[in-house]
Structure 1
Amino acid sequence: MKPELTADALVQLVHRYYPVGLHTADPGYNVTEEAQRLTRLLEANAAGSQTWKDFYQRVRGEFPDCSLWDTTVPLNDPCYGCRVSQPGFFPGDPRYDSVVCLLSQLAPVYAIYAAHLEEKGSGLPRDHWLCFPPFPPEYQSRETRLARLIESTFGYTRLSNEVLFTSVPDLVPRMANFSIGEAQLIDCLFTPNRW
């Protein structure tokens, strides 16, 4: 990992975009210098960069047997996101398995995770899990190909699980329903909403 992308450096970076010690419901949260800085960044990236749009088309070409879903939530989360299904799975199916990439708008870093969602029928709980590396074998080929595309397109660095799950105990990401003390770098650099 590049020295400027250490967990400590990334924790310092996210402190520039989230106010210290304030919950998102606090009336002063959105008027802080940090929250305003994040709002300006999100507004600047709301339409999606041309590089992101080109990347999404490259993913479509790389995975023609998969459904794709741009999971970017402009003006909410400081990241771009893309969900690549396993072959034969489509959004809305009772079972949907996928590999998801998140690319930060705050730093040149990314994360990838595997996801499984299966509806069990009316009244029954659904089966749902997320997995960070190492992935189950059936997800590894897509993981490798997606990582290669991200790095060749953006030059971003993939964060290790250790860095992703570094605690940032004094911040609450703006779209998170967290208490102070629950946030991790993955929540602040990307999104607290993963499924």
Structure 2
Amino acid sequence: MHPSTEELFSIARNYWPSTEEYYLKGEASPENQRLGALWQEKLKRIDRWWAMLDELKEELPELTIGDATATLHASFRCTAYSKKVNQQRSALVGCLSIIAPVFTVYGLEFEYQGETRTVSRICFEPLPAYMQGPAGVIARKIETMFGASALPREVADTPVPLFVEWKKPPHTTLFHALFSSTPERIP
């Protein structure tokens, strides 16, 4: 069972400011400093995350599994791309929040113009049929290895009055605060 929406908001506001004062000054807010300190602790145990990626590589040999973690977000992130060159039109992204015991898996569909890749669509619940099998494997692996629970989409979409990187209210949601303010950006 996942924490309530109210509990998740309370957790998130401990790590993201409610004003843009510090961003405008180019300084870290007290909340951002807490997130940075938490990342320092979590990175000491990143080997568990990498072990999960290794297991996913074995369980999903048809996909290229990679790490997309960036400490400006509030989650460990992994990517799963098709190995077939002509099918690299989509990816799955698994996110494990470092601030709350929740995770999500979402999809990205791409368009290419020459060598330039752009995201044409972010796919949340329900995922397209072709993404569901591998997404289920990623979700079960995160849940099993880290004890996190899937964050329901309706909770993830809850607006929050927080500044998450350069995402400002009223466009900021719990998804942004718990996982990533730029879900479309992956390597």
Same-fold call, TM cutoff 0.5:
yes
Contact 2:167–2:181, Cα closer than 8 Å, also in 1: no
Decide which of 50, 53, 56 is 2:50's aligned counterpart: 53
* 2:172 matched residue in structure 1: 183
More strand by share: 2
**Residue deviations 1:77-102, cap 9 Å, x none?**
1211011123525xxx7943121100
> Which whole-Å deviations, capped at 9, do the CAs of 1:136-188 have from their partners, x for residues lacking one?
1111111111111111111110001101111102x111xx3223332111111
* Structure 2 CA distance for aligned equivalents of residues 34 and 132 of structure 1: 28
Corresponding residue for residue 121 of structure 1: 114
Same amino acid, percent of matched pairs = 25
**Structure 1 equivalent of residue 135 of structure 2:** 143
For structure 2, list consecutive stretches of 5 or more residues without a partner in the other structure: none
Who is 2:10 aligned against?
12
Report if the CA contact (8 A) 1:23-1:172 is conserved: no
How far is 1:54 from its partner? 1.0
2:60 aligned partner: 63
In the alignment, does 2:183 pair up with 1:194?
Answer: yes
Aligned-pair distance for 1:193? 1.2
2 CA distance for matches of 1:95 and 1:52? 24
**Contact 1:95/1:118, CA 8 A, preserved across alignment:** no
- Distance change in 2, residues 1:76/1:148 (3 Å): same
Supply the AA of the counterpart residue of 2:149: T
Give the letter aligned to residue 101 of structure 1: G
Shift of 1:55: 0.7
Q: 1:159 aligns with which of 130, 151, 157?
A: 151
Asked if the contact 2:81–2:88 (Cα under 8 Å) also holds between the matched residues in 1, the reply is no
3-state SS in 1 of match to 2:23: coil
How far apart are the structure 1 equivalents of 2:76 and 2:40?
13
